[in-house]
Structure 1
Amino acid sequence: MKHPVLRSARFVSLGLTALLASALCSSIALAEEDGVFIETVNRSSGLTGEAPTEEVSQTFVAHGKMKVASADPNGTDMILDPATGEMTFMNHGVKEFYKINAKSMMEGLSKPGMDQMRAMMEQTKVTVEPTDETREINGWNCRKYRVAKTGMMEIEQEIWATEDVDLDLDRYTDLMSLSGPDGLLGDSEAGRAQRAEMEKIKGYPILTKSKMQLMGTNMESETEVRVIRREPMAASLFEVPADYKEREMNMPGAPSAHGAPAGHP
């Protein structure tokens, strides 16, 4: 029979171990949040001298942030934080990152430059035509919409959207959109008209086919959502790795978020 003191010490030790394990599990739980995972296939063709491309991107949404990650381990990922207006770009190939604040970038543009860009964007006319054509795409019931954008460039789109998915990512996509509520057009008549037209598209875009002319070249692109699911996501997923080096950006611009979920024009 064990000595009472030793037995008590063993119980205390087991109790502390259980307490520490419970605390560890609690900290892990606090660091995770139920988020949204989206897998998208991005196809493009028409670029002079280049073969058609196909790229898979993954989007993670949780903890008030959105991350768009390339399937290429040496590619570039982007993190959007609408609360601060910050966009972070991580280049995994060279382990570097840089940050751009969308709000500060807008404020940093010269007034003549902003006025000129605003005038060009105000000329953009968006027309959305809902159709009665429906089909199932990747398990979702979708309706077809025809979209035409004229002005700065001519763009024709075929958008298949589903109402089977309750997903609103406008707060993230608006950060990348100059015509969003906080963009160059803001609450202007042109901005409201463009957004009102796009709101005719009911539900979340699953398949988007786009045709455009750029400098005499016809370009085509296609974005297809293959997976949408909810899953736990750690807060660290939306942080820059500690061994990445920050790079300064001196230009008021940023790479396009290829594969990011579609938003307003």
Structure 2
Amino acid sequence: MFHPIMRSTRLTALALAALLALMLAPALVLADEDGIFIETVNRSSGLSGEEPTEEISHTFVAYGKMKVASADPNGTDMILDPATGDMLFMNRGVKEFYKINTKSMMEGMSKPGMDQMRAMMEQTQITVEVTDETRTINGWNCRKYRVTKTGMMDIEQEIWATEEVDLKELERYTDLMSLSGPDGLLANSDAGRAQQAEMDKVKGYPILTKSKMQLMGTDMESESEVRVIRRESMAASQFEIPADYKERQMDAPDAAGAAGAPAGHP
């Protein structure tokens, strides 16, 4: 038997421990996760009948997800979840969202359709020229790379990348968007390996990417410039669909309406 004073002391200690656990539990549950924040300026010109545009997008990466949010209050946000293959597009102007699952999309395609798409992607030829040109952009020392892509669409790119930033963890998100990852159409193919090997010549993270292409007889130019990269605390709710948003069913996203993705290896 414990002495009454010892018993009282022990109960008090247990009570304090339980109270402390209750006090700490909400903090642990609600604690934010350290994530990556990127601010990018996206510029475009050449669209028929439209003036050159400039839009700022904010990228948040945490909890195994990536969110690309337009600075426009009525813009479109995108959330990527590589674990499930889900791509969510949320229209803040009308409070609607639609979802595309890349895994289901690929599984739902017929074999002839898959083979045709794969053949078209295999036609893309990529050439990367490493130059000796360097410059400082937004505080990062960058090297210039010239990238040429021919195939379904001819694209000329000028990429200024820095090795002062290591964001290889973002590759799983860019892979999901381009379907070029381990589960993509060109996975384990000679064409896919050749394309990846060429793009691997671009060392570091792209800070400024200038692209020129021709689409339906119209010359188009776009530019993506990273202004800010930092690590900061993020709440899980940032990567969830707001409760008052309604789901909209559609076959494919309006790519032109989605917020600009962060700069990365195309």
TM over 0.5: yes
Q: 1:126 offset after TM fit, Å? A: 0.2
Does residue 238 of the first structure (1) align with residue 216 of the second (2)? no
Contact 2:205 2:264 in 1 (8 A): no
Say whether the 8 Å CA contact 2:77–2:259 is kept in structure 1. no
Separation in 2 of the partners of 1:165 and 1:244? 36
1:1-265 to structure 2, matched below 5 A, reads 21-29=23-31, 32-168=32-168, 169-249=170-250, 251=251, 253-256=252-255, 257-265=258-266
Residue 26 of structure 1: CA displacement? 2.8
Counterpart position of 1:7: none
SS in 1 for 2:30: helix
User: CA RMSD, aligned part only?
Assistant: 2.0
The answer to whether the Cα contact below 8 Å between 1:173 and 1:262 also exists between their aligned partners in 2 is no
Amino acid at match of 2:186: L
AA aligned to 1:226 is R
**Offset at 1:261?**
2.1
Q: Which runs of 5+ in 1 are unaligned?
A: 1-10
- Measured in 2, the distance between the counterparts of 1:107 and 1:25 equals 42
Q: Residue 180 of structure 1 contacts residue 264 of structure 1 at CA under 8 Å; is this kept in 2?
A: no
Q: Percent identity?
A: 79
2: CA distance, partners of 1:34 / 1:179:
27
CA contact (8 A) 1:177 1:264 kept: no
Q: Is the CA contact 1:149–1:155 (under 8 Å) kept in the aligned structure 2?
A: yes
TM, length-normalised to structure 1: 0.89
Change (3 A) 1:263 1:104: farther
Equivalent position amino acid for 1:259 in 2? G
Q: In the alignment, is the contact (CA less than 8 A) between 2:75 and 2:259 conserved in 1?
A: no
Deviation at 1:228, TM superposition (A): 0.2
Amino acid aligned to 2:28? S
Distance 1:105-1:111 versus aligned 2 partners, 3 A rule: same
Name the SS for the 1:171 alignment partner: helix
| Contact 2:157-2:210 at 8 Å conserved across structures | yes
